[in-house]
Amino acid sequence: MLFHQHWLSRNRLLAANGVFTVYATVLAVVTGQADRTWAIWAAAAYGVTTLVIWLTRHRNVPVIWPVLISLAGALAAPVAWLVTRVAPTPEVQVISRSAGLLLQHGTPYLATGQLADWLSYNPYLPVMALFGLPRALGATGLLGDPRLWLSLTSIALIWAAFTAAAPHRRCAGCRHGVLLSALFLAASPVIAFPLTVGITDPPVIALMLLTLALIARPSGWFRAAVALGVACAMKATAWPAVPVFAALLAARHAARSAWRFTGVAFGLAVLLSVATAPAALGRPWAFLQNTVLFPLGLSKYKTPAASPLPGHLLATTGMAGHWAAVGLLAAAGLGFAVSLAVRPPADARAAAWRLALGLAVLFTLAPATRWGYFMYPIGLAGWLLLTRPPAPGTEPAHGVLPVPAQAGEPELATPTR
């Protein structure tokens, strides 16, 4: 018999939603504008979810129902509220404008002479503009807002990642675990908060998780490279994942596998970017200003979204300090690459930890950075918890029924997840 047990027990769900409630409540007090709107909705949703899980702890009530409450209150409701009642956030404005430019001119980037303020820049890569196409094509209201399509895409990709990571796909226990884990992660502040205010990182994080799930399989390197290539065509924050996974493949198989993975990932990213925005090739300086100089804080107009992290604080001391921050960032990247060559990750879980650590260091030292970027290492850490296999000899949780092994599957005495 197979015992299918996922990491998200009722007690862990209770504790997690309690923490989410406190976080959202604090955020509602210390922030404003769209952030506060999300925090008010989310604090109520997480609080109700916590209460429902507590009150039904001795009853046979599926925990998926309270998780749906948190998803509705922390994502669906605040997105609908902000779209219909509040002016678009800067991120939504940038994506919507870039989609319009893409349709009219074949490039999502304004020319150098049109960059009049910080909102004129588009730091995203061409594929990200596709989320603004519904509005550019005439859709209005919720259907025309990029946040709807960012949310749907992110949730679908998170579900696909957990499906790919499931030990079995044909049994009810695994399907339940996949659905519960995907809904929980989508409803968590790591994903729901940025999606609500239009931040573009969740689909990139979801594609990283899908890459992790696929590359863990011996024959999954090609599909993993495709998933990561799409992420790399959306945002440059996905690029550090390429050498990490390449190092994993080189250690697990051979250098040839690493080169093939890198070639497919970067090749697809370039192909998608060129196919999406062919006219951008004729404006290389505009592309460089938008996607490289602006994120590094080296453009004429600087982003106001800067958090007091070491790299930013050093950059504010003057031009010498700014270049020192860029130098430290480059040195950190070089050190990261050397560590991968000297001690490559042995498996997908080790690769996830290495990537989370590397991204945390890079975001800390970047001259133009914000706290929100740490959703990447936090999301990776959450994935590792949610997909952690139970310890050998662990008994199935109360209410988890043994499932007969499918044809062709070995019978296991311990849980597989």
Residue 155's alpha-carbon distances to 26, 48, 62, 183, 206, in angstroms, are: 26, 22, 21, 8, 8
**Residue 384 resides in a domain:** no
**Residue 301 resides in a domain:** yes
Q: How many CB atoms lie within 10 A of CB 413?
A: 9
Give pLDDT < 70 ranges for the chain: 1-6, 169, 305-306, 390-417
Q: In a 3-state reduction of DSSP, which class is residue 402?
A: strand
Q: How many domains does the chain have?
A: 1
Q: Are 294 and 120 in contact (CB under 8 A)?
A: no
Q: What token pair was written down for 31? A: 């922030």
**Residue 92 resides in a domain:** yes
**Residue 4 resides in a domain:** no
**Residue 409 resides in a domain:** no
Q: Are 266 and 229 in contact (CB under 8 A)?
A: yes
Q: What token pair was written down for 325? A: 């921050």
If you search the block for the tokens 């925990």, which residue do you land on?
Answer: 63
- Give the model's pLDDT for residue 82: 94
**Residue 25 resides in a domain:** no
Q: Please state, in angstroms and rounded to a whole number, the distance separating the CA atoms of residues 367 and 311.
A: 5
- Give the model's pLDDT for residue 4: 55
If you search the block for the tokens 């690459």, which residue do you land on?
Answer: 337
pTM of the model: 0.88
- Identity of residue 184: F
**Residue 75 resides in a domain:** no
- Give the model's pLDDT for residue 52: 93
122: containing domain = 88-306
- Tell me which DSSP letter residue 2 carries: E
- Give the model's pLDDT for residue 5: 60
**Residue 190 resides in a domain:** yes
> Of all helices (H) and strands (E), which one includes residue 403?
strand 402-403
Q: Please state, in angstroms and rounded to a whole number, the distance separating the CA atoms of residues 75 and 38.
A: 8
- Give the model's pLDDT for residue 312: 75
Instruction: State the first-to-last Cα distance of the chain, in angstroms, to the nearest integer.
Output: 14
Q: Please state, in angstroms and rounded to a whole number, the distance separating the CA atoms of residues 406 and 132.
A: 44
Q: Are 212 and 352 in contact (CB under 8 A)?
A: yes
- Give the model's pLDDT for residue 410: 38
- Give the model's pLDDT for residue 369: 74
Phi, psi of 3 (to 5 degrees): -100, 115
